Every structure is written in C-alpha cells, then in structure tokens.
C-alpha cells in the first residue's frame, strides 16, 4: 500500500505521538493501513477494542478503546457500534460476543488463542464439578465460552481476589491459571482447588532474573502481572492487571521501572510517560502478536473472522461474565 500525501497528512499527528517507540522506516508501512482502517471503521460504524498487549501502531493508531480484559468486556456491553473488531485474542472476542450477542464481533486472526484458555474444556469443568459437588467454580476470563457456561462467576486478574471473597464460602474451584490461583490463595483464607494451566508468556520469568535486575538498577520499581510464578510476584514491588500496572506507572512516575509482562506494554505507555525509563527484559505473546494492521483491515473490509456461538452457550456463559462485571474491580 502506498504511503501517499493523504495518508501522511491523516496520520502525522499519531506519528508525532509515538515516534519514540516506532521507527520512521516502519511508519511508512503502517500509516497507509492506519489511514484506511480509520476511514473504514467510520463508514461501517465499527469500533476497535484493543488489549494492552497490542503493538503501538494498533494501540495508539486505530484503537477506539484500549484496556485490560475486564474493561474490554464492560466496553463491549456498552458500545453502540454495529461491528466490534477485537484486537486481542479469541477468548476476548468471545467475551465481547457474550456481552453484545446482537452485534457482529470480528477477530482478525482466528488462531490468536491463549495457552490458559486452551488448557481446559467444558467437559473438564463438568468432571471437576462431579468430583467436588457443591463447590462453586470461578473461572478466569481467559477461558472458552464452553468453560464459562459451566462457571458460576468469572474473574480477571483485576478482581480475582474480590470475586473469590464475594462468594462467602470456605472452598472454591479456581481455574485454569495455577499461578493466579496461588496468588488468590495467598490473599485469602479460602481453600482453592486449582487447575494446572499456565500462561506461556509469564511462566518464562524467574526470581533470579528479577533479583539481578534489581541489583543492577538501584531504586528500580518492579511490577508484575499476577499470571507470573509466585516467587516472581514476591520479588516484585506490585502485582496487578495490565491496566493496574499502567495506572501504577502513571501515578507513581518511577524513575526506572520493569514491567514483568508482555513486551508491548512498555512501548505503549512510554508514549504517555516520557520521564520514566523502562528496563525491558520482557516476553512476547505469540497469540497477541498474530493481530496485525493488514489482518485488521482485511477482516473489517470483508467482515471475516466472525465469532459465532449457539444461543444456549451464549445465555449460560453470559451469566458468569455479567456476575463478574456487577462485582467490578
């Protein structure tokens, strides 16, 4: 696609904003797509919801709303657009469909999955319920709609502890993230029955690496996502959802920070926090990175990648997400 004067004029302001994190040579490739997508989404009354792990050209260039998975679910229920394009992974698009079943929800790459979501099926949850009759099931939002349909209440990393406590019970089945389950257990007296799912991105961090970085960078703040192994969280100064981590940096303006999470987070918020130095050993999510500008344009133009689910699954699964949204952050 040609980087002509029209595309340059329409996208210059965006580039001024993100020039520190996107090289000029790359911009000539991104800009024509950004211009075309921004025009097309207006023509089609479409909204682009982007997760915080999307690359800066998506996050700052075309997203109408960027957030953590809890806020994306809430936004999907409120939008007046006819089409929702989810710049994120499959479970996020499914969740948007659950919250807005009458809208067309599109995912630019159907293979954008999640290691947590693929670690468990609805059948697995039914077997767990047979094994632990009467014990409520709390599922991380990083699950398929089939799993959500077997779930009492969903949670995200932003509200997992609050949701589990809200049930007022002594024992909870919490799935599928074993590390998040351990984190919740560390914050409550409730017995947690967990599942052996892990996030392939956060599982790669280790305590030794964190300690070396702290030693080499006196005064650094280290903030981690709760999907990290427990010893990593313990060695960090703060743990929170992706938006919780962003808020921490905005509010505290640390001189130096390491975000123990997916790589795009530091790039995306560097833009609005120019005085913060980001130390970047980070890991890339191969699923999030499947979403690109050309794929977003293609799915918006041809309305491909539509999320289709049967009514029964939608109705059952939606209840667990709605209960979560009602409890809030």
Rounded to an integer, what distance in angstroms lies between the CA atom of residue 255 and that of residue 162?
A: 31
Q: Which does 287 bind (CB under 5 to 8 A by kind): ligand SF4, ligand 13P, none?
A: ligand SF4
Rounded to an integer, what distance in angstroms lies between the CA atom of residue 298 and that of residue 303?
A: 8
Exposure of 113 in the CB half-sphere (CA atoms within 13 A): 10
Residues 134-163 contacting ligand 13P, CB under 6 A: 142, 156-157
Q: Which does 55 bind (CB under 5 to 8 A by kind): ligand 13P, ligand SF4, none?
A: none
Under the binding rule (CB under 6 A), the answer on residue 270 touching ligand SF4 is no
Minimum Å gap between C-beta 76 and ligand 13P is 14
Under the binding rule (CB under 6 A), the answer on residue 178 touching ligand 13P is no
Nearest alpha-carbon partner for 156 in 132, 177, 130: 177
The two structure tokens encoding residue 157: 């990393």
- Burial classification of residue 322, based on how many CB atoms lie within 10 Å of its CB (0-12 exposed, 13-18 middle, 19 or more buried): middle
Nearer to ligand SF4, 156 or 270 (CB): 156
- Binder among 199, 259, 276, 317 for ligand SF4 (CB under 6 A): 199
Rounded to an integer, what distance in angstroms lies between the CA atom of residue 276 and that of residue 280?
A: 12
Q: Which does 157 bind (CB under 5 to 8 A by kind): ligand SF4, ligand 13P, none?
A: ligand 13P
Under the binding rule (CB under 6 A), the answer on residue 242 touching ligand 13P is yes
Under the binding rule (CB under 6 A), the answer on residue 75 touching ligand 13P is no
Nearer to ligand 13P, 31 or 177 (CB): 177
Minimum Å gap between C-beta 201 and ligand SF4 is 4
Q: What is the rounded (10 degree) CA torsion for 279, 284, 285, 288?
A: 90
Under the binding rule (CB under 6 A), the answer on residue 35 touching ligand SF4 is no
Under the binding rule (CB under 6 A), the answer on residue 95 touching ligand 13P is no
Cα→Cα distances 49→68, 165, 253, 259, Å = 10, 30, 27, 22
Nearer to ligand SF4, 212 or 284 (CB): 284
Nearest alpha-carbon partner for 158 in 175, 137, 180: 180
Under the binding rule (CB under 6 A), the answer on residue 241 touching ligand 13P is yes
DSSP 8-state class, residue 240: -
The two structure tokens encoding residue 184: 């919740």
Rounded (5°) CA angle 74-225-181? 85
Q: Which does 156 bind (CB under 5 to 8 A by kind): ligand SF4, ligand 13P, none?
A: ligand 13P
Q: Which residues contact 208 (CB under 8 A, 6 or more apart)?
A: none
Nearest alpha-carbon partner for 132 in 185, 175, 177: 175
Q: Which does 200 bind (CB under 5 to 8 A by kind): ligand 13P, ligand SF4, none?
A: ligand SF4
Residues 125-154 contacting ligand SF4, CB under 6 A: 142
Minimum Å gap between C-beta 94 and ligand SF4 is 13
Site for ligand 13P (CB under 6 A): how many residues?
A: 12
Minimum Å gap between C-beta 119 and ligand SF4 is 10
Report the SS3 class of residue 16. Answer: helix
Rounded to an integer, what distance in angstroms lies between the CA atom of residue 223 and that of residue 216?
A: 16
Under the binding rule (CB under 6 A), the answer on residue 249 touching ligand SF4 is no
Q: Are 257 and 275 in contact (CB under 8 A)?
A: no
- Binder among 30, 35, 36, 287 for ligand SF4 (CB under 6 A): 287
Binding site for ligand SF4 (CB under 6 A): 89, 114-116, 142, 199-201, 227, 262, 285, 287-288
Binding site for ligand 13P (CB under 6 A): 52, 68-70, 142, 156-157, 199, 225, 227, 241-242
């Amino acid at each position: 696609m040609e980087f002509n004067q029209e595309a340059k004029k329409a996208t210059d302001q965006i580039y001024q904003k993100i020039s520190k994190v996107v090289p000029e040579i790359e911009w000539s490739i991104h800009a024509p797509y950004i211009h075309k997508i921004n025009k097309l989404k207006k023509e089609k009354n479409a909204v682009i919801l982007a997760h915080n792990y999307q690359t800066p050209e998506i996050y700052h260039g075309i997203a109408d709303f960027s957030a953590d998975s809890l806020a994306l679910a809430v936004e999907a229920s409120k939008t007046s657009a006819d089409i929702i394009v989810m710049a994120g992974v499959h479970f996020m698009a499914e969740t948007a469909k659950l919250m807005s079943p009458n809208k067309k929800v599109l995912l630019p790459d159907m293979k954008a999955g999640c290691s947590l979501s693929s670690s468990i099926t609805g059948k697995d949850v039914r077997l767990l319920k047979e094994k632990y009759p009467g014990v409520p099931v709390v599922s991380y939002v990083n699950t398929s709609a089939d799993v959500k349909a077997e779930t009492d209440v969903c949670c995200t990393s932003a509200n997992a502890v609050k949701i589990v406590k809200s049930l007022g019970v002594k024992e909870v089945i919490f799935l599928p993230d074993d590390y998040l389950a351990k984190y919740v257990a560390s914050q409550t007296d409730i017995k947690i029955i967990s599942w052996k799912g892990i996030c392939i991105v956060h599982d790669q961090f280790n305590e030794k690496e964190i300690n070396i970085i702290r030693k080499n960078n006196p005064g650094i703040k280290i903030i981690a996502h709760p999907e990290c192994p427990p010893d990593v969280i313990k060695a960090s100064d703060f743990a929170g959802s992706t938006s919780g981590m962003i808020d921490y940096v905005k509010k505290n303006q640390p001189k130096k920070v390491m975000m123990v999470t997916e790589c795009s987070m530091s790039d995306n918020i560097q833009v609005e926090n120019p005085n913060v130095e980001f130390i970047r050993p980070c890991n890339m999510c191969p699923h999030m990175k499947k979403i690109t500008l050309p794929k977003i344009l293609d799915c918006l133009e041809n309305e491909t990648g539509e999320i289709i689910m049967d009514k029964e699954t939608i109705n059952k699964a939606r209840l667990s997400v709605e209960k979560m949204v009602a409890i809030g952050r």
